[in-house]
């Protein structure tokens, strides 16, 4: 993954690039670097660690120049030190890169045999050497790109700066995202439109395999085979106003509190607030004939898919499988004619999910994208798009995008159930009303975070934590465990409550907190038995339930959280909020960086 940026301006390039990189830091923060061109030469600054380290380097040694490239890294090839920090330079050429050049080892061997010497362990450096060689042999930078591009394999995006060419950047993308920004007498490029939002909203998205020549006067795009192509200019929907932290300590805290709004906006993308009527996006608009739904996703989005399966089966009566994108893409899955795949992704750029989408298409499925970024690659490669309207999400651990995905899926299940005649008009109305009430109930939960602070104190000190849930609460247990381990580094496992007796019960003793997600629904009595099994072995129970659940089981809990009463179908959306708060507050208590936890990145564009 990594975040990349390029600037051709009439203003100093370094501050513009640092500002854009701050909005790309969610893509990785192992190291950072900038290169600029001035007076015919290239100048470079790099630092290991987060952008703040590069800022210190720049303060001591500012970078001149109005053209430049910048990078924030999530390490793949080579440890996260200064030598491996981008930009990589060979002769006259500097490169910043996101993704992987898969044939880098063969290319490196060829270049070394021809006399090149390498400074880093990265796959990126081969691109700099290859371009430099072509230019040294008399090719123009454009000709060099046309010759080098067909020799590279893998999924990547990169931007090139050439010494002595201060009105030129070269940019290329294959699978990894890249957005070009147009200005007045200026041109920009970045991994996404959010990076460029404060400087321009005029965006040209490169298509898969494209490469481009940027000059201050304009941009020329070429397809993979070198023929010039037109790519449409669009106005990005992201404004600079949407990308601040407000008065919150972390983006994650802000994004948890954004949820009432994110859920309401998303709901109204599926269900008309005036009429209560749900609409189906293509390719699900022929709902009666949809043979099966296959959900493809990674990480938190996968857990949204696991929750959706319950709704799609019970409310819409449709066969549904949920697949981890990274596993599905290499399987010879047998899928029916007339099946629809739903690719679920906050970013719309996770490479595993994109590759799974392409695989599903090759297996004859139509594809619906459920994404939070309308211009994303997954949206553009799908037959239809259902947008979550969560707004930009910066915290690496996904929060509001998840509850927005749940909302969109439940709305979709209701619309499908109605269209297929699986539920009657009364049931549609009941479910729509239940959904309409969710933003208010989430806001109620967010009013008082005090109880979660006390629980977070225990979680932050635990070695292992178990999260249990059944039915619709099972994916929420998985999500709760993922949130905790991602941002506090405390080992946590989410388990189907009924499976606990088949293994994890061996972990339980008086030191293991067990978070039980148990609204008083059809699964409640069985979960209650599992809670008794935990208690019998001395485990510490943290029970999330409603009034009826508290009356039945509250006495057996070490910590009891009573949530508002809601219909069981919408409970997963509401019960997500406490598990997010507990993890976030535990991270604050431990002093880990909730927004940028170690080793992770938000948008994972490597396989």
Which residue, 27 or 86, has its beta carbon nearer to ligand G6P?
Answer: 27
Query: In this structure, are residues 287 and 280 in contact, taking their beta carbons and an 8 Å threshold?
Result: yes
3-state per-residue secondary structure call for 369-393: EEECCCCCHHHHCCCEEEECCCCCC
Q: Of the two residues 373 and 423, which places its CB atom closer to ligand G6P in the complex?
A: 373
376: contact with ligand G6P by CB under 6 A: no
Site for ligand G6P in 283-342 (CB under 6 A): 298-301
Q: CA-CA distance, 188 to 171, in Å (whole number)? A: 10
Q: Which residues are catalytic?
A: 2, 602
Please identify which residue in 98, 191, 350, 365 interacts with ligand G6P, judged by CB under 6 A.
350
> What is the DSSP pairing of strand 228-229 with strand 293-297?
unpaired
Which residues, 225 to 244, sit near ligand G6P by CB under 6 A? none
Q: Which is nearer to ligand G6P, 97 or 485 (CB)?
A: 485
Q: Considering the rule CB under 6 A, would residue 399 count as an interface residue with ligand G6P?
A: no
Q: In the sheet where 491-496 sits, what is the strand order?
A: 491-496, 464-469, 513-517, 540-545, 559-562
Binding mask 493-512 for ligand G6P (x = CB under 6 A): --------------------
Q: CB count, 10 Å around CB of 77?
A: 15
The secondary structure of 375-440 as a DSSP string is TSHHHHTSSEEEE-------SSS--HHHHHHHHHHHHHHHHHHHHTTSS-HHHHHHHHHHHHHHHH
Token couple for 15? 């501050």
Residues 29-48 that bind ligand G6P (CB under 6 A): none
Considering CB under 6 A, how many residues would be counted as binding ligand G6P? 16
Cβ of residue 469: shortest distance to ligand G6P, in angstroms?
Answer: 19
Cα–Cα distance, 527 to 539 (Å, whole number): 15
Does 28 sit near ligand G6P (CB under 6 A)? Answer: no
Which of 353, 580 has the CB closer to ligand G6P? 353
Least separation in angstroms between CB 297 and ligand G6P: 7
Number of C-beta neighbours around residue 91 at 10 A: 16
603 binds ligand G6P (CB under 6 A): yes
Q: Does 397 bind ligand G6P (CB under 6 A)?
A: yes
Beta strand 233-235 with 202-205: parallel, antiparallel or unpaired?
antiparallel
Q: In angstroms, what is the minimal distance from the CB of 115 to ligand G6P?
A: 41
- In the complex with ligand G6P, the residue whose CB is nearer, 111 or 344, is 344
User: For the packed helices 125-136 and 104-113, what is the interaxial angle rounded to 10 degrees?
Assistant: 40
Contact with ligand G6P (CB under 6 A) among 122, 191, 388, 398: 398
Write b or e for each residue in 551-563: b if 16 or more Cβ atoms lie within 10 A of its Cβ, otherwise e: eebeeebebbbbb
CA distances (Å), origin 404, targets 57, 95, 408, 508: 40, 37, 6, 34
The least distance separating ligand G6P from the CB of residue 601, rounded to whole angstroms, comes to 6
Q: Which stretch binds ligand G6P (CB under 6 A): 97-105, 180-188, 391-399, 510-518?
A: 391-399
List CB contacts of 473: < 8 A, sequence separation 6 or more. 497, 517, 518, 519, 521, 523, 527, 571, 572, 575
Contacting ligand G6P within 245-274 (CB under 6 A): none
| Shortest CB 603 distance to ligand G6P, Å | 6
Residues 191, 200, 326, 347: which binds ligand G6P (CB under 6 A)?
347
CB nearer to ligand G6P: pick between 206 and 401: 401
Is residue 188 within 8 Å of 5, Cβ to Cβ?
yes
Burial class (CB in 10 A: 0-12, 13-18, 19+), 121: middle
Backbone angles phi, psi at 297, to 5 degrees: -170, 170
Minimum CB–partner distance for residue 361 and ligand G6P (Å): 18
Q: Which is nearer to ligand G6P, 100 or 126 (CB)?
A: 100
Q: For residues 166 and 67, is the Cβ–Cβ distance under 8 A?
A: yes
Which stretch, 239-247, 346-354, 429-437, 551-559, contacts ligand G6P (CB under 6 A)?
A: 346-354
Cβ-proximal residues to 69 (8 Å cutoff; 6+ apart), any chain: 4, 5, 6, 7, 17, 34, 35, 87, 94, 95, 96, 159, 160, 161, 169
- Closest to ligand G6P by CB, 144 vs 370, is 370
Q: Is 600 in the site for ligand G6P (CB under 6 A)?
A: yes
Q: Considering the complex, state which of residue 309 and residue 602 has its C-beta at the smaller distance from ligand G6P.
A: 602
CB of 347 to ligand G6P, least distance (A): 3
353 near ligand G6P (CB under 6 A): yes
For ligand G6P, the closer of residues 74 and 156 by Cβ is 74
Residue 571 phi/psi, 5° resolution?
-55, -40
Whether the bond into 283 is cis, omega within 30 of 0: yes
Q: Cα separation of 326 and 297, whole Å?
A: 8
- The whole-angstrom separation of Cα 442 and Cα 53 is 38
Cα separations (Å) of 503 from 42, 407, 498, 509?
59, 33, 10, 14
> Which of 72/347 has CB closer to ligand G6P?
347
- CA–CA separation, 174 vs 602, rounded Å? 19
Query: Minimal distance in Å, beta carbon 159 to ligand G6P?
Result: 22
What is the spatial order of strands in the sheet that 366-371 belongs to?
Answer: 320-324, 293-297, 340-345, 366-371, 384-387
Instruction: Report, in Å, the least distance between residue 344 CB and ligand G6P.
Output: 7
Residue of minimal Cβ distance to ligand G6P: 299
Output helix, strand, coil percentages for the chain, rounded to the nearest 5: 40, 25, 35
Write down the least CB distance from residue 270 to ligand G6P, Å.
Answer: 19
Instruction: Return the residue of 67, 200, 307, 346 that touches ligand G6P, per CB under 6 A.
Output: 346
Q: Give least dist CB 436 to ligand G6P, A.
A: 26
The binding site for ligand G6P (CB under 6 A) comprises 298-301, 345-347, 350, 353, 396-398, 600, 602-604
């Amino acid at each position: 993954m990594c975040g990349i940026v390029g600037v051709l301006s009439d203003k100093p390039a370094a501050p513009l690039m640092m500002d854009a990189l701050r909005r790309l830091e969610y893509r990785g923060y192992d190291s950072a670097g900038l290169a600029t061109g001035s007076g015919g030469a290239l100048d470079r600054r790099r630092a290991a660690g987060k952008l703040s380290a590069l800022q210190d380097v720049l303060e001591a040694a500012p970078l001149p120049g109005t053209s430049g490239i910048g990078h924030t890294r999530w390490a793949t090839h080579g440890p996260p030190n200064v030598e491996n920090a981008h930009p990589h330079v060979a002769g006259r050429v500097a490169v910043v890169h996101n993704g992987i050049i898969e044939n880098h080892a063969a290319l490196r061997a060829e270049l070394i045999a021809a006399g090149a010497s390498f400074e880093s362990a990265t796959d990126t450096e081969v691109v700099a050497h290859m371009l430099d060689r072509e230019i040294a042999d008399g090719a123009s930078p454009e000709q060099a790109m046309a010759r080098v591009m067909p020799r590279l394999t893998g999924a990547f995006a990169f931007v090139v700066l050439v010494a002595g060419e201060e009105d030129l950047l070269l940019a290329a993308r294959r699978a990894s995202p890249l957005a070009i920004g147009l200005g007045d007498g200026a041109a920009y490029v970045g991994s996404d439109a959010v990076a460029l939002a404060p400087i321009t909203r005029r965006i040209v998205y490169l298509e898969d395999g494209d490469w481009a020549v940027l000059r201050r006067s304009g941009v020329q795009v070429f397809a993979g085979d070198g023929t010039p192509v037109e790519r449409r200019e669009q106005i990005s929907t992201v404004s600079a106003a949407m990308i601040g932290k407000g008065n919150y300590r972390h983006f994650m805290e802000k994004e948890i509190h954004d949820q009432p709004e994110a859920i309401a906006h998303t709901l109204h993308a599926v269900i008309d607030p005036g009429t209560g009527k749900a609409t189906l996006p293509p390719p699900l608009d022929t709902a009666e004939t949809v043979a099966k739904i296959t959900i493809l996703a990674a990480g938190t989005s996968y857990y949204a898919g696991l929750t959706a399966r319950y709704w799609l089966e019970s409310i819409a009566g449709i066969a549904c499988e949920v697949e981890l994108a990274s596993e599905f893409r290499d399987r010879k899955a047998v899928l029916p004619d007339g099946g629809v795949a739903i690719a679920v992704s906050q970013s719309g750029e996770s490479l595993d999910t994109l590759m799974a989408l392409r695989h599903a298409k090759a297996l004859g499925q139509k594809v619906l994208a459920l994404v939070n970024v309308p211009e994303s690659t997954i949206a553009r490669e799908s037959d239809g798009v259902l947008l979550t309207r969560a707004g930009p999400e910066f915290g690496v651990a996904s929060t509001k995008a998840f509850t927005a995905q749940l909302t969109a899926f439940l709305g979709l299940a209701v619309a499908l159930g109605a269209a297929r005649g699986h539920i009657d008009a009364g049931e549609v109305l009941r479910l729509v009303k239940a959904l309409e009430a969710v933003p208010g109930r989430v806001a109620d939960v967010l009013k008082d975070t005090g109880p979660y602070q006390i629980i977070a104190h225990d979680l932050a000190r635990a070695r292992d934590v178990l999260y249990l849930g059944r039915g619709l609460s099972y994916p929420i247990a998985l999500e709760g465990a993922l949130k905790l381990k991602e941002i506090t580094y405390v080992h946590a496992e989410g388990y189907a409550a009924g499976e606990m007796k088949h293994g994890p019960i061996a972990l339980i003793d008086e030191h293991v907190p067990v978070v039980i997600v148990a609204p008083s629904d059809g699964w409640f009595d069985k979960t209650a038995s599992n809670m008794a099994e935990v208690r019998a072995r001395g485990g510490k129970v943290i029970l999330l339930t409603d009034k009826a659940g508290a009356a039945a089981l509250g006495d057996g809990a070490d910590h009891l959280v009573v949530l508002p009463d809601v219909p069981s179908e919408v409970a997963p959306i509401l019960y997500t909020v406490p598990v997010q708060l507990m993890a976030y507050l535990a991270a604050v208590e431990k002093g880990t960086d909730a927004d940028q936890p170690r080793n992770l990145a938000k948008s994972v564009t490597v396989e």
